[in-house]
Structure 1
Amino acid sequence: MNVDVHAGDGRPVIIGGGIAGLMTALRLAPEPVLLLSKSALGAEASSTLAQGGLAVSLGVDDNPALHLADTLAAGDGLCDIHAASSIVHAAATEVEALAGLGVRFDRDQGGRPQLGLEAAHSRHRIVHAAGDGTGRELVRALIAAVHNTPSITVVTGMEARRLITHDGAIAGVLAEGAKGPVLLATQRVVIATGGIGGLFRDTTNPLGCIGQGLALAARAGADLADMEFIQFHPTALDGPARPMPLVSEAVRGEGAILIDEAGRRVLEGVPGADLATRDVVARAVWKHLAEDHKVYLDARQRPGRDFASRFPAIHAFCRSVGIDPANGPIPIRPAAHYHMGGIAVDGDGRSSVNRLWACGEAACTGLHGANRLASNSLTEAVVCSRQVAQSVAGTVRQSARQPVATTMPPRPDPASIRPILSRALGVLRTGEDLGSAIASLLPIAQGHTAASDPAIVGLMIAIAALQREESRGAHFRTDFPQKATNAQRSRLRLDEALDTARALSSETTFPHARSA
């Protein structure tokens, strides 16, 4: 294999062109950094599609303690309280920093940020930009800031395929671009590659979000945490488009309700009703669909005629398929939306592999626990990017040998993995289906094909889900519908996952995951 080897100058390499990667690069300035993105900045990032905003306690009736309490309640007993407290207390400062970078937040006549309400929040605390186009506005402003920062070198059209390690520490990144393979010598890598929704048939994420950053970290020996917890957004537009257009929770925050084809309320009698936590709403919708009903989001009364002005992006894609939300209900179904799990990191974003950090959805900070509170994800990305940047900047470069390239693996292709995960790892799960998925994924994960990296991520999710013999947050086992009394966060390495899968296939004793 002919590889273009770049000795480098000690620059950190940031993998990912969404909000987490852009913010980390900006906060490392003026230190030179290399930002890799497999597509144009923001083009394949979930960040751009984010309709909700940033959860931050700015209201006169609000404070970080209330925000923390809501976060812990949604997380269903598995949040890291120290990480969650640190993040929610830093949120207000980061909104000011984003405004300073050119983000145009929606404001009232007094110049204060307008605050919206979303499910499971006890206060109006969602800061939006461009109505339901918050993610798009953030990405626009951050890309402009990156292009105006001389210390950031952006390389698009380049995909990281492997992390090179030496003596248990990062030594380089093997990537491939338009001119072929490239080996980047670096001792500091930040993974900011987003989520895993592209591993499912029904998803609101860009189809390129297939957990590649998790596969990179897992192959390098990193611990992954809380992999079983996948949030399915209950209200994705039920149509042929993939990714599925998202109908933001904020629409229900303004009074829209879920009904079936007979006009009956789907959440009638459920605590919190249409503003219950996402896992509760998703299960209710999933079960109703399984009973051969249709489910719709009815916004005809509220927000009614204000729909187009309040939610212009949602209104546009509804009209593109012949739906006027002010006059007709919107057909919806749950879709894979956000991964609470990911690369296990500490308060500075450091993984268990020396000199490897993670930020954004690819990281598992412990903020979200078993179920993410709405709009906490953008808040987490911007807050943690500062912590990661400070940690990276404070890590002294050491002398190291030139990294040695390995065989370039093929470009990841999740097509054969999607049916397996969609069947076994959806809103409702069973041990039988999970065991079948593990048996199907193991030989692919052990292979060297385009499906192997996606299979590794799917295998680790399936094993964590099988080992969690309870129902909690976004993880629901119909064969274990009750919560365990002593539940802990899960933690898993690739070698453990492979050993476990092999043992299961041999019908030997099934070991339990390590507790975080």
Structure 2
Amino acid sequence: MGAAPPQDRPVIVGGGLAGLLTAVHLAPLPCVVLTTGRLAEHTSSALAQGGIAAALDPGDSPLLHALDTLHAGAGLSDPGTAERITAAAPAAVEHLAALGARFDRTPDGGLALGLEAAHSRHRVAHAGGDATGHEVLRAAIAAVRATPSITVLENARALRVLTADDGRVAGVVAAIDGAPGVIRTDRVVLATGGAGGLFRHTTNPTGSRGQGLALAGRAGAELRDLEMVQFHPTALDVGLDPMPLVTEALRGAGARLVDAAGDGLLEDDLAPRDVVARAVFATLQRGERVFLDARETLGAGFAAHFPTVAAACRAAGIDPIRDPVPVRPAAHYLMGGVSVDGRGRTSVPGLWAVGEVASTGLHGANRLASNSLLEAAVCARWVAEDLAGQDRRRRCRPGGASSLPRWAAIPTRGAGQLRALMSETVGVVRDGPSLTRAVDQLGATVERTGLDATDDATLVALLLATSALRREESRGAHLRTDFPAAAEPRHLTLTLAAGLAGLDDLATPAFRRSAS
């Protein structure tokens, strides 16, 4: 593993915007950041196009922003969390600008604000037209590299969060350049992103398969609303994997969703994402293709306003000035995640979660556009403040290579088959028999392999399918054809042990003990 990693420091798992900003806010407290590749690689943050939502216009307010968030969240968003995060949004954008993020400006120097689906005001700050994620991540990386207290370990994959007999965090098992070892720490922050890579069609890096959910679940943390997966309605449908995103801001600028005959799909192209995704999916299921048509509204100005999408189209042989752009829904964002409180604390002492991996209560059953980078930026500060304030009365026990268990490097097996199964059974439209098939197949794999030897992707897929099977209603992004009506709003929580114990084939005493 080369030089030994620093010990007894907070460890942040993940090199996207949430993880990097947490490290920046922690300074001058020393910390360690683990990232699976090099900085800026393998992170969904860099792929975010639309922008960051914040009430920055005089005619807007954080309260209106919160109300839009709650309306989109379909009854599962927490009002207090929505109000708190939207109130902090303008300062978060200002902080990113202070770090050097070059947001698009109006001629008088103010922030240019875009309109996206389900927003009642123009409030989306953006950079490079449709390259906001890339730009804010660039600024965060520059800040990290300029901060001496931050140690970044690249090509480092966290394999397990270790806990002591009292349940508190005691360390991280990590493979650094392929060699596993133990980093001693009693403070770990999960900032690993989502799980879109579990599906055949996704806008996420294909390696985003819920690693943070598995780390938290194996450590005993409570998970919440895992079935709430947002499928972005417009990913570029040209056979690429992952699929390039076609930003919602295009529809905000007037582009329309049409079928092959040029007829519109919806009366309101800026309806909430779950509504639009299902309309596109239904058209595809009839054997027709769906297109985003910006020829009349943007025409020759397409590339100037949306250079990232224009470049992806050109690479696929599509000229968006003259041609409608083929699109389809793709797994985009996990609204559920590791259950956290207002400080980012999980149910495991010493373990925090921030960004997409966390379930804060902001997104509910259907995330409002451009609230994802916002949540990462705002909550990173709160997690850092809480983490820095810990008195650390308990010191973690040393660990070493001799304590590494046999599962220290388990590859993901059968990724293609897993992604196909998830898309067929836990996709845009769901039903009981399909979900049962997914749970049965994935559960049988875990039973055959053993919990410790099961790869994280299979384990997370099982928990996601189990959650979807247990939610017997339709709400937001979760549509059950056998339960088309909404029930009373409720969160669906589970731990790894509870999720596995509910499976008939796995409910043996020995298996229950191995799951707990």
TM-score, normalised with respect to structure 2: 0.94
Query: Conserved in 1, the CA contact under 8 Å of 2:184 and 2:396?
Result: no
1:410 aligned partner = 410
Structure 1: how far apart are the matches of 2:507 and 2:293? 47
Alignment match of 1:396 (pick from 391, 396, 400)? 391
- Superposition pairs of residues 143-158 of structure 1, within 5 angstroms: 143-158=141-156
Distance 2:2 2:107 in 1: 56
The verdict on how the C-alpha distance between 1:123 and 1:504 changes in structure 2, with shifts beyond 3 A counting, is farther
Equivalent pair of 1:219/1:494 in contact (CA under 8 Å)? yes
> What is the distance in 2 between the residues matched to 1:445 and 1:297?
41
Q: 1:42 aligns with which of 40, 43, 47?
A: 40
CA shift for structure 1 position 6? 5.5
SS of 1:172's partner is strand
| 1:500 Cα deviation from its structure 2 partner | 1.0
Alignment counterpart, residue 490 of structure 1, candidates 483, 488, 492: 492
**Does residue 363 of structure 2 align to residue 368 of structure 1?**
yes
Q: Which residue pairs with 2:379 in the alignment?
A: 384
CA distance in 2, matches of 1:401, 1:151: 23
8 Å contact kept, 2:209–2:457: yes
Deviation, structure 1 residue 405: 3.1
Structure 1 position 487, deviation (Å)? 2.1
Aligned to 1:313, which of 284, 287, 308?
Answer: 308
Give 1:110 shift: 1.5
User: Contact conserved, 1:84 with 1:366, CA < 8 A, in 2?
Assistant: yes
Distance 1:483 1:214, change over 3 A: same
CA contact (8 A) 1:416 1:451 kept: no
Q: Tell me, yes or no, if the aligned pair for 1:5 and 1:184 is still in contact at 8 Å.
A: no
Is it true that 1:452 corresponds to 2:455 in the alignment? Answer: yes
Q: Which residue identity is paired with 2:283?
A: H
Tell me the residue number matched to 1:127.
125
Residue 433 of structure 1 aligns to which amino acid in structure 2?
Answer: S
1:476 maps to 479
Unaligned regions of 5+ residues in structure 1, if any?
507-516
In the TM superposition, what is the alpha-carbon distance from 1:182 to its structure 2 partner?
Answer: 1.4
- Gap change, CA 1:7 and 1:427, over 3 Å in 2: closer
| C-alpha contact 2:283 2:290 (8 A) present in aligned 1 | yes
Q: Distance in 2 between matches of 1:321 and 1:468?
A: 39
**Backbone CA RMSD of aligned residues:** 1.7
Change over 3 Å in CA distance of 1:197–1:49 after alignment to 2: same
Name the counterpart of 2:420.
419
Question: CA shift at 1:321, angstroms?
Answer: 1.1
**Aligned twin of 2:202:** 203
* Structure 1 position 458, deviation (Å): 0.9
Task: Give the partner amino acid of 1:228.
Answer: E
Q: Percent same amino acid at aligned positions? A: 53
Q: Deviations over 1:181-215 (max 9, x none)?
A: 11100000000000101111100001111100110
Give the corresponding residue for 2:55. 57
Moved more, 176-185 or 165-174: 176-185
Residues 241 and 299 of structure 1: CA distance in aligned 2, closer, same or farther (over 3 Å): same
Question: Structure 2 residue aligned with 1:28, among 26, 29, 48?
Answer: 26
Q: Matches of 1:308 and 1:189 in 2, distance apart? A: 42
What secondary structure sits across from 1:415 in the alignment?
A: helix
Judged with a 3 Å threshold, the aligned counterparts in structure 2 of structure 1 residues 65 and 56 are, in CA distance, closer, same or farther, namely same
Q: C-alpha separation between the residues in 1 aligned to 2:417 and 2:453?
A: 10
Matched, 1:265 2:264: yes
Q: Which amino acid aligns with 1:362?
A: V
Aligned to 1:162: 160
Q: Secondary structure at the match of 2:504?
A: helix
In 2: Cα distance, 1:502 partner to 1:330 partner: 46
Please say if 1:255 is aligned against 2:250. no
CA distance in 2, matches of 1:477, 1:464: 12
Relative distance call for 1:266 and 1:149 in structure 2 (3 A) is same
Q: Which moved more, 1:416-425 or 1:399-408?
A: 399-408
Give the drift of 1:395: 1.3
Given candidates 72, 80, 100, the residue that maps to 1:102 is: 100
Letter in 2 for 1:401: R
Residue deviations 1:373-393 (CA, integer Å, cap 9, x gap): 000000000000000001111
- Identify which of 310, 330, 339 aligns with 1:335: 330
Shift of 1:302: 1.1
Q: CA deviation at 1:451?
A: 5.5
Amino acid aligned to 2:429: L
1:70 alignment partner in structure 2: 68
- Structure 1 runs, 4 residues or longer, greater than 4 Å off: 3-9, 448-451, 503-506
Unaligned runs of 5+ in 2: 509-516
- 1:176-325 equivalences under 5 Å are 176-178=175-177, 180-268=179-267, 273-325=268-320
Task: Tell me how far apart the structure 2 counterparts of residues 491 and 5 of structure 1 sit (CA, whole Å).
Answer: 40
Partner of 1:509: none
Supply the AA of the counterpart residue of 1:383: V
Change (3 A) 1:400 1:178: closer
SS in structure 2 opposite 1:289?
Answer: helix
Give the structure 2 partner of residue 462 of structure 1. Answer: 465
Contact 1:13 1:188 in 2 (8 A): yes
Q: Deviation digits for residues 111-164 of structure 1, max 9, x if unmatched? A: 111000000000000000111000000111111111110000011001011111
| SS state at 1:233 partner | strand
Q: Which residue of 2 aligns with 1:429?
A: 430
Measured at CA, do residues 62 and 75 of structure 1 come closer, stay the same or move farther in structure 2, by a change above 3 Å?
A: same
Distance 2:311 2:434 in 1: 38
8 Å contact from structure 2 (residues 500, 507) kept in 1:
no
CA distance 1:238–1:450, shift in 2 (3 Å): farther
Contact 2:169 2:350 in 1 (8 A): yes
- 3-state SS, counterpart of residue 410 of structure 2: coil
Q: Is the 8 A contact 2:184 2:397 kept in 1?
A: no
Indicate if the aligned counterparts of 2:191 and 2:354 stay in contact, CA closer than 8 A: yes
Alignment partner of 1:274: what SS? coil
Could you report, residue by residue, the CA deviation over 1:445-497 in whole angstroms, capped at 9, with x for unpaired residues?
3425876311111111111111111100000001111111x220111100011
Alignment TM-score, normalising by the size of structure 1: 0.94
* Alpha-carbon distance in 2 for matches of 1:349, 1:124: 29
Cα drift, residue 86 of structure 1: 0.8
Q: Cα gap change, 1:7/1:149 in structure 2, threshold over 3 Å: closer, same or farther?
A: closer
Q: Deviations over 1:211-249 (max 9, x none)?
A: 001101000000001101000000001111100011000
Contact kept, 8 Å, 1:444 with 1:452, in 2: the verdict is: no
1:8 CA drift (Å): 4.7
Instruction: Output the CA distance in 1 between the equivalents of 2:94 and 2:134.
Output: 18
- The 2-side partners of 1:54 and 1:20 are apart by 13
Between the two proteins, the alignment pairs up a number of residues equal to 499
AA aligned opposite 1:327: R
CA distance in 1, matches of 2:416, 2:454: 8
Q: Which residue of 1 aligns with 2:15?
A: 17
